[in-house]
Amino acid sequence: MMNECPMCANKVETRSVPKYHYRESGLDNIWLEGGVIETICPACKHRLVAVLKEQQLLQLIARDLLMRPGFLTGKEIRYLRKACGLTQAELAEQLHLDRRETVAEWEGQEEAKRAQGWEYALRAVLLESFEATLSKDNHLSSAQDAELTKFREAFAAAYSEFFAKQKKPPKVLRFTKRRDWQRPAPGRKAA
């Protein structure tokens, strides 16, 4: 623990914070119960907040966002993209989007305005990138890892099922004797 203020070198007071609004995450709805230490200098009023096991906390937030049902908000997409170490351009490229601005637009939205298919694709890319990040520097507990693995398996099944239902039968076009492409007449099978 710090005994002196880094600003004025006076002795500091330290206390445990029972409930803390963790705005530093960039998300509005993260509240921590315990695990937060606040240091205040009585002389210059400099305040320092330390979150215990912060790397684990940041990865746990990312994991929980990925596992949460429903559409991701713009702030959640930004948080996950940064947790995966991706730029907007890199995420757009992995999603096969033509423009980086599409990711920027999604991150600026309070409510999702994208199709369900894009939500599945977005989560698939973020989940893969997050797991790659964890393979290099994992702070999650083994139980938290096991929950993520179980989720990945369920997500893969839901992803496959969703996109299997989206397949539309190919449109049949016939090259006619008149050397024009056209659709077959209703009720007739293409040769």
Residue ranges per domain, the chain?
Answer: 13-52, 56-166
Q: How far apart are CA 86 and CA 88, in angstroms?
A: 7
pLDDT in tens, 78-126: 999 999 999 999 999 999 998 999 999 999 999 888 999 999 999 999 9
pLDDT in tens, 11-37: 999 999 999 999 999 999 999 999 999
pLDDT in tens, 144-178: 999 999 999 999 999 989 988 876 655 566 667 66
Residue 2 or residue 149, greater confidence: 149
What pLDDT score was predicted for residue 65?
Answer: 97
Q: How far apart are CA 73 and CA 171, in angstroms?
A: 36
The model carries a pTM of 0.81
Q: How far apart are CA 96 and CA 71, in angstroms?
A: 20
Q: How far apart are CA 120 and CA 155, in angstroms?
A: 9
Q: How far apart are CA 37 and CA 18, in angstroms?
A: 9
Running DSSP on this structure, what letter comes out for residue 15? E
Per-residue pLDDT at 190 exceeds 60? no
Q: How far apart are CA 191 and CA 188, in angstroms?
A: 9
CA 183 to chain centre: 43
